[in-house]
Amino acid sequence: MRPFKNYLAITISSLLLTPTVQAITADELAIQFEAYKKQQAEVLEKITQENSGLKQQNKTLKTKLEQTEKQVKNNTTAVETVADNVTVTSGVDQWLNKTTIRGYGELHYTNKSRENAKHKEEADFHRFVIFFGHEFSDNLHFFSELELEHSIAGDGKNGEIELEQAWLEYTFNDQLSAKAGLFLMPVGIINENHDPYTFYGVDRNEVEKYIIPTTWWEAGIGASYKLDNGLSFDAAITTGLEMSDKYSIRSGRGKVSKQQANEPIIVARVKYTGTPGLEVAATVLHQTDMGQGDNPSAALTGIGSGTLFETHAIYSHSLGPGTFTAKALYSRWDINVDDKADQAAEDQYGWYLEPSYRLPTTYGDVGIYGRFQKLNYYDGDDKNYNTWEAGANWWIHDNVVLKANYIYKQDTLNENRDERGFDLGIGYSFF
């Protein structure tokens, strides 16, 4: 109300000081005063409304600020969560990039007859194998292979679950590497590389099965050295065989299952692959006591040292639209046997020749082969066979193969014991 008082005072003063101005009546002055009051009330109301609006805007801005602070906090938490997830995902990706999973399998159908024996006709999922590998660093790697044989394992079942490989390899450079653990022995053609798409025939050949004996693994340490000219050298010291059962080489494998380890094996191999299409290799293996003589449970005591010699050659050459390949392998055990009744167990050997021709077609490669095997081994008594085999492989994919073969197996020691028949099979590998 102070502006009104000031205005009234000025007005009165002006009236008093200006004699020429006509005197204002009290009523007129009251009317002017009421008009001024109304004007000031309107100004005050406007100011009040503006102040109320400013308060509401301030409240709204405060609410928005609180919401923004909350959103910033939520966003920060989300970013931290995403960052953590990215870190975890990155770790998983790194693990996956350094881990390898592969495998292979074989399904067989057999239809064979042996003279004076029951006809054999059966189906068997012979092998299901999973491979795991991991790269700890650029120099240190792990390899393993787990196999289920004959579909079902357990008491009274035909199958077995086996750990065929589990070893660490350290690579010093492009030429030198060393390994330790459970690994396949460096001998033969298919002992180290036996994926089904790599060989002809539904079953593996019997020379490498009974003499080498594929698949053969031991526990130990080994080293490999490669030269630029194609020469390579392998050496290892491993657990050994225990031929305490029928002087059988194949039955002597302990498969590193609480295996006697009194007498180790020393093995060395030299291989040449410097000429395109050619592989030539030789392996020498020695064990001082084939019966693990320090083993009190050994059934045989009349057996001494044993030496295995194996050599093979593989030659492939382009011929017409396809590729001709020839394989030859010879393997022999010399074993000291004291028991005169089992002298035939001293020399166990086998060899085979296998020519083949592989032709690419629109529907996948097709290959035909023939194989002759000469086999002499011991399993409680002397075994001697001549085996003729022929068949075909159809690779419907580089790593998937359909197989068929016919076999005639002649028993050279027993009359009327020959075997003949055919096999069908499928095999696959993935990696």
Closest CA to 314 of 267, 277, 287: 277
pLDDT at 88 over 60: no
- Token pair of 96, please? 């996956």
In order, the DSSP letters of 177-217 are EEEEEEEE-S-SSSSS---GGGSSSSSPPHHHHHTS-SS-E
Closest CA to 265 of 248, 253, 251, 281: 253
* C-alpha–C-alpha distance, residues 195 and 393, integer Å: 14
3-state secondary structure of 258: coil
Q: Return the CATH class of domain 98-430.
A: mainly beta
pLDDT at 384 over 70: yes
Percentage of residues of the chain with pLDDT beyond 90: 70
Go through 130-158 and write b for each residue having 16 or more CB atoms within 10 A of its CB, e for each that does not: ebbbeeeeeeebbbbbbbbbeeeeeeeee
pTM of the model: 0.78
Residue spans per domain, the chain: 2-89, 98-430
pLDDT in tens, 40-84: 777 777 777 777 777 777 777 777 777 777 776 776 666 566 556
pLDDT in tens, 279-323: 999 999 999 999 887 655 555 557 899 999 999 999 999 999 999
More confident residue, 137 or 78: 137
pLDDT in tens, 159-207: 999 999 999 999 999 999 999 999 999 999 999 999 999 999 999 999 9
Q: What is the dihedral of CA 386, 392, 431, 169, to 10 degrees?
A: 20
Closest CA to 350 of 236, 250, 203: 250
More confident residue, 89 or 334: 334
Answer for the pair 47, 76: CB distance below 8 angstroms, yes or no: no
pLDDT at 6 over 80: no
Helix axes 26-97, 2-17, angle to 10 degrees: 150
pLDDT at 14 over 70: no
